[in-house]
Amino acid sequence: MHPRQDGDSPVRVGVIGGGQLARMMIPAAVNLGIELHVLAENSGDSAALAATTIGDYREREDVLRFAEGVDVVTFDHEHVPTEILRELVERGVRVHPSPDALVYAQDKLLMRERLSELGVPVPEWARIETAEQLDLFLQANGGRAVVKTARGGYDGKGVRVVSSSTDIADWLAVGDPLLAEELVDFRRELAQLVARRPSGEIVNWPVVESIQRDGVCAEVIAPAPRSAGKLADVACEIATTVAEELGVTGVLAVELFETMDERLLVNELAMRPHNTGHWSIDGSTTSQFEQHLRAVLDLPLGATGTRDQWSVMVNILGGPAEGSLADRYPAALGDQPTVKVHNYGKEPRPGRKVGHVTAGGDDLDEVAYQARAAAAYFQDDNLG
C-alpha cells in the first residue's frame, strides 16, 4: 500500500496495466502531486515504482478491488473486458475513457462501422465471417487484402496480408468475425494525437510521421515533414471528430495513412498515451502523459506547443544481446549529450520495446542522426 502523502489532496489515479505507458505517467504524477496507483500483472512490470497492486485485469474481483482505492480509473492498454468496465461505471467509479468510447479501440470492426457512419475517411473494409466473404472482398480489391482479428491485436499481431481465404483458415475456424481492409497504397503513415476532458475541452499536438518496421513503430518525426497547412488541418479535424463523436476522454491517438493521392484514411485508434506521442515528453510544453492525467481528472489541459522545431523519437527495440541498457550509458550518453534516454526497465528480448530516445533541434537531418546514433548503442542486430 502506498503511504498517503503529507499534504496531498485526494487525487489518486488508477492505471490498469503496468507497462511503459503507466511507467511514463510517473514523472508527470510526481510533478503534479498526483498519487498514481497501478494494477500490474507482475511485480517486475515496468511501472513498478508507482504504488502497485498485482492482479489480473480480466478478473472482475481484482479490478473492482483496485478501483476502490482510487478516484479515477484509466488504462495502460485496451484489454480490460467491457463488462467489467461497465460494472465499474454502474458502481459510480469514474472511468476514462468510458467503456462506451473504449469499445471502439478494443474492437476494430465496431470502430470501422462507427467511423463509416460518421463519414470519417477509412480504407475500404468488410466484415468477414466466411471464406466466401473474403473471396468477394479480394476480387473487389485487386486480389490482396489485410485481415485483422477484431480484438486483441497490437504491434502487428493479429494482422495478416492475405491473397486467399486459405491464409486465414485458422482464424475462420475460430468463428469470430474478422475485419478485411484494402491494402492501402500509402505514401507514409501519420498519427494525430489529441486530448479531451470529460467537460469537453480538446487540444491537439502537431500531426507526426510514424515510420514502421515489421509492423512496429520504429521512429516518429514531430511534426510530420511537409505537413503544415491543409494536411495538418485535416488530420486535426479527423481526430477531433473521432474524439467528440465517440466521447473519448484522455489522450486519443489516431493512426493515419497518407495516400499517394494525398487523402488521409484512419488506420487505427488508441485511447491512451501512444508510442507516436513519446516525443512529447521532451519535445512539447505538455507531454502526452501529463495531459492524459490532467484530462482524466477533468483538469484544464496544458499547452501543446513544441519545444523544438523538430523532434525525432527512435524506439529501442530488443535491446542489448547481453547485459542491460544502462551498461551502454557511458558510450551512448558520452557520444550524444543532447539526446534524452528513456529506459523502461524491461528485460531485453527480440523485437521488444525496451526504451526510446528523443532528440530535438532546428535541423531535421542532424536531429534524426543524433536520435538514431544514440538508439544504435542500445540495440544489437540479433535482437533489433
Q: Which amino acids are annotated as binding site for ATP, given as ranges?
A: 108, 148, 181-184, 189, 267-268
* 342 lies in the site for its own copies, by CB under 8 A: yes
DSSP count for the chain of H helices, then E strands: 12, 18
Size of the site for its own copies (CB under 8 A): 61
373 binds its own copies (CB under 8 A): no
Strand boundaries in the chain, DSSP class E: 12-16, 35-40, 51-54, 72-75, 94-95, 125-128, 145-149, 159-162, 178-181, 186-196, 202-204, 208-213, 216-222, 250-259, 264-270, 310-317, 340-343, 353-361
* Closer residue to its own copies (CB): 133 or 324: 324
Work out whether 42 is an interface residue with its own copies (CB under 8 A). yes
Q: Which is nearer to its own copies, 130 or 285 (CB)?
A: 285
Which one, of 58, 52, 98, 57, lies nearest residue 74 by Cα?
98
Quick check: 4 binds its own copies (CB under 8 A)?
A: yes
Binder of its own copies out of 303, 322, 362, 382 (CB under 8 A): 303
- In whole angstroms, how far apart are CA 211 and each of 76, 108, 192? 22, 22, 14
Closest among 269, 234, 274, 241 to 255, alpha carbons compared? 269
Task: Tell me which residues in 120-179 interact with its own copies (CB under 8 A).
Answer: none
Rule CB under 8 A: choose which of 343, 367, 383, 384 binds its own copies.
Answer: 343
Q: Does 240 bind its own copies (CB under 8 A)?
A: no
Q: How far apart are CA 269 and CA 143, in angstroms?
A: 26
**Which among 208, 184, 204 is positioned nearest to 194, based on CA atoms?**
204
Determine the interface stretch with its own copies among 3-11, 78-86, 130-138, 258-266 (rule: CB under 8 A): 3-11
Helix (H, G, I), strand (E, B) or coil at 4: coil
| 39 lies in the binding site for its own copies (CB under 8 A) | no
**Residue 146: CB atoms within 10 Å:** 18
- Residue number with CB closer to its own copies (226 or 349): 349
**Residue 345 lies near its own copies (rule: CB under 8 A):** yes
Q: Which string of b and e fits 166-190 if b means at least 16 CB within 10 Å?
A: eebeebbeeeeebbbbbbbebebbb
Q: Is 184 in the site for its own copies (CB under 8 A)?
A: no
The answer to whether residue 33 forms part of the interface with its own copies (CB under 8 A) is: yes
Task: Note whether 202 binds its own copies by CB under 8 A.
Answer: no
Among 347, 362, 381, 382, binds its own copies (CB under 8 A): 347
In the structure grid, which three cell numbers stand for residue 160, read together?
Answer: 495478416
Where is the binding site, in residues? 108, 148, 181-184, 189, 267-268
> Is 312 strand, coil or helix?
strand
Q: Give the range of 109-117, 253-261, 305-313, 375-383 binding its own copies by CB under 8 A.
A: 305-313
- Residues 49-78 binding its own copies (CB under 8 A) are 49-50
Q: Binding segment for its own copies among 101-109, 225-233, 264-272, 347-355 (CB under 8 A)? A: 347-355
| Of 24, 15, 17, the residue nearest 358 (C-alpha) | 24
Judged by CB under 8 A, does residue 1 bind its own copies?
A: no
Q: For residues 43 and 139, which CB has a smaller minimum distance to its own copies in the complex? A: 43
Is residue 82 a contact point for its own copies (CB under 8 A)? Answer: no
Selection from 238, 245, 155, 231 nearest residue 194 by Cα: 238
Our finding on whether 23 is near its own copies (CB under 8 A) is: yes
- 43 lies in the binding site for its own copies (CB under 8 A): yes
Closest CA to 96 of 16, 8, 38: 16
Q: Kindly report the length of the chain.
A: 384
Q: In this structure, what DSSP letter does residue 34 have?
A: P
For helices 288-296 and 20-32, the axis angle rounded to 10 degrees is 70
Residue number with CB closer to its own copies (24 or 39): 24
The contact set with its own copies (CB under 8 A) reads: 2-9, 11, 23-24, 26-27, 30-34, 42-46, 48-50, 281, 285-286, 294, 299-303, 305, 307-308, 319, 323-327, 329-330, 333-334, 337-338, 340-348, 354-355
